[in-house]
Amino acid sequence: MKNIIKITFTIILMVAFLPVQGSSMSKNDKSDLTILYVGTNPDKPLSKRDKAYALDTVRVIEMQKNRASDFKAFLSQYFNTVKVVYGEDYKENMSASYDVTIIDTYLTAFAGGRKKDPETGEMIYERRQFLTEAYNHATIMIGEPSAFIGEGRQLKIDHLCLCLDAHAHGMKVKHPIFNKPFKVEMLKEDVKLTGNYHARYGGRNLGESMPMWRIQTEGYRDGKGFPVGLVSAGYGFDNGIDAEWISSGTCDKGIEATAIGRHANFLHWGFAAAPEYLTESAKLAFINTIHYIAPFKGAKQITRKIKGTQLREYLREQQWTVSDQGSAAWLAYLEEGNKKFNKQKEEIQAKKDRGENLSERDEMVLQMPERKETRIWTIRHEPQEMKDKHGEDWAAYENRYKENMDYFYAIKGAWYKTAIDEDAKALGIPNSDIKLIDKAIKMLKKGEKVEMAKRILARYTKESFETATEWSNWFKSNKKKLYFSEGDGYKYIVLP
C-alpha cells in the first residue's frame, strides 16, 4: 500500500512540474520553447521563380518587406526566445540550438538538380537536397518551400499543387494543434467548391459548397495578388507509423489534398499567409503547431515516399477516371475550365490592347493554347500496349483496375509506372498481405516454384539472402515488425 501511495505521489509531482501545455494556458504566458525563424531577406530582389508565379509583383515585394518582422513580432508574443535568420545565412546546424525551426523561405540545394549524364551526354535530373539525412530537428515548413525540402528528403510532403487558398476543411478537430495549449474555435462558413473537387472520386457526392474554416483573411482567389499556398498529395499520407494527415484546404486537387500534415520531425503548413493575414483562430492553431512539433525533435524518419512512385490510392482514382461516370465528370470540369480560361485570356488581351503592362504570368497565359479534350484524355496514363489493344473499349480499362487492384506494384526507376504482379495474382494473395512473403519463403524451403518465390522476395523486400534458411530466420525475427510501404517502392520495411 505504501508503494502504491509513493508511486501515485511521484506521478502527481511529475505532472505538476510539466511545462504548461494544457488548454488553460493564458495568452499572456510566454513559453520557454526556443524558436528559430528562417525567412526571406526583405532587401532581396524577387527571384525568377517568384516573378513567374507572383500574381502581382508589386504587392509581393511590399509584403516581403514586412514578412520576417511580422513573424518575429507575432512569435515574440508567445515565446521568450525568437531568433530570425535569412535563408542565405541559414546553416542546418543552427537548428540544433533551438527547440523548433520554422522555415519560411527557399533554401539553396546542396546536391541534385539537372546535369549531363557523363556516359550518354543526356540531361538527367537527380532529386535536389536541401537538408541532409542527419537533420532531425523539429521543423515547421510554410508554403511552397516545404515541398522542395520534403522531396529532397523523400517525405510524403510533396509538390502536388501550388493552389492552396484561404480556407481549411476536413480538419481532424481532436488533433492537438486545434486544442492545446489553446482551444481553437474553428468557426465555419459555407464556401463554394471550385477546382476539380466534383471530378474526383472522393468528391463525387459533394454538394456545391461545404463548411470550411477561414485560415487567412485574404486568399489568392480574391484577385488582389495574394501569395498562393501549397498542398501535398493526400493519397497514402496518413500511415499510422511516422506520418499523419491533419487537414486539407481549398485547392484544385480535391478533398484529400494535404494542407497541414506531419512526417517524422517535419510539419507542413501549406497556407502562405504571414501572421498579419491570419485569422485570430488560425494564429492560435499555428502557435499550437509549434508546441506540438517540438517533442518530435530527434524523431527518426521511418517511411519514405520515393518521387515517381504511383500509390494504390492514385490507381483507384485512375479507375474512377476511366469509368463512364468518372470520365463524364472530368470532361465537364475541363470544359468549364476552358470557358474560364478563354475569358481570362480575353481580359489579358484587352489589357494588352490598351497598352497596359503585362506580368510574366499574363504573357504566359497569352501563349497557352485553348484546351479541347475528348474521352481519349482520360486514358492518357494507361499503358501504350493497353491503348493499342483496346482502343476506345472504355470498359477494358476500368476492368483492368477492378481485376488487378491488389496486384499492382511500382516499377523501379520508372516515373509513375506500375505493373501487375502475375506471380502474386497466380497465388491469389494481395501483395500488401504479409502472407505473400510467408508463402514465398515456404516455397523456397520446399523447392517449389523457386524462381517465382525469388521474384516475389526481391520485388517486395530490401533483402538479398541466398538461402531459404536465411530468409526463414529473417522472417521469423521480423514478422511482427514488417510494414508494407507503398511509398518505399511497394516494399516490406522493418519497423524499429
Q: Kindly list the structural domains of the chain, giving each domain's residue range(s) and its CATH number in brackets, ordered by start.
A: 29-296 (3.40.50.880), 312-405 (no CATH), 421-494 (no CATH)
Tell how far CA 365 is from the center of its chain: 27
Cα–Cα distance between 67 and 377 in angstroms, integer? 42
Q: Bridge partners of 359?
A: none
Q: What is the dihedral of CA 276, 279, 282, 284, to 10 degrees?
A: 80
Per the listing, cell 492560435 goes with 284
Per the listing, cell 505521489 goes with 9
Cα–Cα distance between 357 and 354 in angstroms, integer? 9
Q: Bridge partners of 103?
A: 38, 141
The distance between the two most distant Cα atoms of the chain, rounded to a whole number of Å, is 89
Angle at 419 between CA 396 and CA 385, to 5 degrees: 50
Other beta carbons within 10 angstroms of residue 312's beta carbon come to 19
Per-residue pLDDT tens, the chain, 496 aa: give them.
Answer: 333 333 333 333 333 333 433 445 666 789 999 999 999 999 999 888 888 788 888 899 999 999 999 999 999 999 999 999 999 999 999 999 999 999 999 999 999 998 888 888 888 888 999 999 999 999 999 999 999 999 999 999 999 999 999 999 999 999 999 999 999 999 999 999 988 999 999 999 999 999 999 999 999 999 899 999 999 999 999 999 999 999 999 999 999 999 999 999 999 999 999 999 999 999 999 999 999 999 999 999 999 999 999 999 999 999 999 999 999 999 999 999 899 888 999 999 999 999 998 888 889 889 998 888 999 999 999 999 999 999 999 999 999 999 999 999 999 989 999 999 999 999 999 999 999 999 999 999 999 999 999 999 999 999 999 999 999 999 999 999 999 999 999 999 999 9
Which residue from 389, 379, 391 is spatially nearest to 331, judged by alpha carbons? 379
Cα–Cα distance between 348 and 360 in angstroms, integer? 12
Angle at 186 between CA 67 and CA 313, to 5 degrees: 85
Q: What is the pTM of this model?
A: 0.89
Which residue from 139, 149, 67 is spatially nearest to 108, judged by alpha carbons? 149
Tell how far CA 351 is from the center of its chain: 37
Q: Say if CB 261 and CB 267 are below 8 A apart.
A: yes
